[in-house]
Every structure is written in structure tokens, then in C-alpha cells.
Structure 1
């Protein structure tokens, strides 16, 4: 009787990579990470191959399509966010831990066009968001609860408020990126003030607002991007 041995569903996921293949995979992921951050998700695997300095066939051997490559880059971001949540919990000052964590989140979104698009713009964005929520929600809740219990955060603030904060800051960052990539910090500070306990001191706003000329230039950049 002949015995048929089934192959793994995804041999790439189970077979150890050769050293050169592992190096190529890291180059591909690094190139994709940079391109997604700079240009968002409207890139091709050919673009990634060119940036990585490998043949497009090499990219396809490691990632069968762009969605799979996006998933690989996205997982790296999830790991870094989880590490930052743990660092926030290790910070002795509960308010500073909360600010540091959400500042990292906003800074990451402001510098990375593709990250926000993954969370809310793809057909499987809700599934990917559910993955992040499952991994991150407990740590984020602890960061927020610790600040509230210390009397630093207004008692009615909820974790969902911080999801809104990050997304509002991301919108400002996307709008102002061509003319003033740091102005998001001003609105992040304003939003934090609205969430801080009433008796606590407010910090000075870190940067000035956009000028009228910068607003005009940013509007023109948005218009040209949609054309």
C-alpha cells in the first residue's frame, strides 16, 4: 500500500530559510516598510523589489501578493506597539507612561502613511484591527487605568477615547505632512489636556499652529494627491 505524505499548507512558513534567503526577506521587509511609510499602500511588488535591490521573482517567492507583504510589515508594527505598552507600564509616573505610549502611537502614525491605511482602509482592515485589539487592548487598558487611578486622568475617560485621539492626530499629520510634519504635536497636546484631570497642570503647547500660507499649501497638496 502506498502512503501519501501530505505537504504543509504553506511550505514557506515551515521550512527554515537559508541564510541568503533570510537576508533577502529582511531586505524586502525593510524596503516595503520604507515605501509604505512614504507612499502608503499604492505601491507594487515591483517597487519593493527595486528598493530592496532584488529581482521581483525573489519577492514573489517570499510573498505571494501585496496583502501578504503588508501583513508581514504590519506584524512588525504590532510587536513594537506591544513593547511600547510594556515600557509605559514600567514608567514610575503613570501620566508620563500614558503620554509616552500615545505619543509613540501618534508619531508612528504621523510618520507612516501605510499604517493608518492598513487599519481602516483595506478590505481586511477590520480583521487586522481585531488582531491588534486582541493583542493590545489589555495593555492599553492597564496604562489608562493606572493613570486614572493615580488621579491624573479624568474619571470618565475610556480607552475608546484614545483610539479617537490617535486617529484625529493622524488626520492632522496626513494633512500637514507636506508643509509641517511636526504640527500634529500641538493637537496631540490639546487633546491630552481635554483628557487630563481638572486639577492637573497643563503643559505649554509644543509647536505653533499652521500659518495661513501653510494651510493653503497643504490644501493644494491634498488636491493634487487626489487628481
Structure 2
């Protein structure tokens, strides 16, 4: 009995260590997502460790370099993006599905600055990310083709034009947070109208314009 008690006593610290390690890892990922969303993927690793309440050594034990951390954080975002695209592709009205995906993608960019940077970064390579992205591109291309065959999406729209939308709207994310959402919604609305096929009923109403002035534009530019 004494021997059993001794073994159990020795096991408790190991179990506690595993629980602490899992808790540290989860906290690091949560904080990394928050900081990437607020400041982009160039945020210092030390800033992530500090906000997570762990030492730099602990962070690097869990994630040996920035790439491994960004890849894991972005994998979650990509999964969400895939779910949004899958829902849009399942819409029986391909034009409505196309519009809903473009608008949702725009919202995701503005809500999370790290999303744009990670998507365009070499950090997105590895751990199956490329395969997922290629699958998403194929699903989007099929959605585009169906919307064009339905006569709603202009025939010269190319699936690669999604990158134009992505880059243009990504630039809007640099605006002050209090204006970025309004600017993005209006930009996406303009773009969607321009994508609609001639002869199909265009929606002329636009979201409320942003109240951001030129002075704020210059201030935002100088702060970057």
C-alpha cells in the first residue's frame, strides 16, 4: 500500500505539468490570434509571450519559430473561410452565393488584419495548407462558372479576380478601426455591382458612406 501511495504521489506533478503545458499552449494560441488580428503577423513573439503570461522559453518550446505559430493560427482561420465558401457554394442561387462569399471574405479581412497577411504570406505553406487552398480555389471557380451560366455574373470575370478584391479590401484594413467597416462594406458593394452581368437587374443602393475625412487618411498613412 505504501508503495502504491508513493507512485501516485510521484505521478501527480507529471499530470499537473501536462495540464499546465496544455493550458499554456491554448493561451498562447488565443493571444496570438488576438494580436495578429489587431496588429498583423509581424507582432513580436515577445509581445505574445508577455500578454499570454508565459516566458519566452515556454513559448518557443510550444512553437519553435514564428512560422509554426502563424501556421497553426491561420489553419483555424482557413477552416472558417472554407466553411463560409462551402455554404456559399451550396446556395441554389449561384449569384447570391457568390455575393455572400465576397461580402463575408471582406468582413473577415477587416475583423482580422492577420487574415490578409497570413493568406498572402509564405507562412501559409506546409501542413496541408496548400492543399486546402487549392481545393477552395476549385470550389470558388465552380461557383463563378455557375453564376456566369445563370447570366448574373459578367462573363469576363475570372476566378483569379478574387485576389484583386482581396488586395483592394485588404488596403482598407489600414484605415482607422472606427471607419474600416464602413469603408469596406461600401467598397465591396461597388465591386459586386461592377461584377453583375449587363442586362441583369443591378442593385443601385449602397451602404452608408464612411465619415472618414482626408485629414484622417493622411494621419493613418503616417502612422504606418
Same fold per TM (> 0.5)?
Answer: yes
For residues 208 and 45 of structure 1, do their structure 2 counterparts lie closer, same or farther at Cα, with a shift above 3 Å needed? same
- Residue 23 of structure 1: how far off its partner (Å): 3.1
Q: Name the residue aligned to 2:108.
A: 108
Contact 1:84 1:101 in 2 (8 A): yes
Q: Which residue of 2 aligns with 1:219?
A: 218
Match of 1:14 in 2: none
Aligned to 2:13: none
Q: Give the drift of 1:79.
A: 1.0
Following TM superposition, the consecutive aligned residue runs of length 4 or more in structure 1 with deviations greater than 3 angstroms are: 17-20, 125-133
- TM-score normalised by the chain length of structure 1: 0.80
Is the CA contact (8 Å cut-off) linking 1:37 and 1:113 kept in structure 2?
yes
Structure 1 residue 193, shift from structure 2 partner: 1.0
Give 1:52's aligned residue: 52
Superposed CA deviations along residues 35-89 of structure 1, whole A, max 9, x for unmatched, are 0110112312221122223333221111011121111111111111111111112
Contact 1:179 1:217 (C-alpha < 8 Å) held by counterparts:
no
The 2-side partners of 1:125 and 1:71 are apart by: 6
Alignment of 1:91-170 (within 5 A): 91-120=91-120, 122=121, 124=122, 127=125, 133-170=133-170
Kept in 2: contact 1:140–1:159 (CA 8 A): yes
* Equivalent position of 1:12 in the other structure: none
Structure 1 residues 142, 19: CA separation in 2 closer, same or farther (over 3 Å shift)?
A: farther
Q: TM-score, normalised by structure 2?
A: 0.81
> Which structure 2 residue ranges, 5 or more long, are not aligned?
1-16
The CA distance in 2 between the partners of 1:148 and 1:70, in whole Å, is: 36
Question: Unaligned regions of 5+ residues in structure 1, if any?
Answer: 1-16
Q: If you compute each CA radius of gyration, which structure gives the higher value, 1 or 2?
A: 2
Aligned to 1:66: 66
Measured on the aligned residues, the alpha-carbon RMSD in Å equals: 2.3
Distance (whole Å) between structure 1 residues aligned to residue 100 and residue 114 of structure 2: 22
The number of residues matched between the two structures is 204
State how far apart, in whole Å, the 2-side matches of 1:43 and 1:170 are. 18
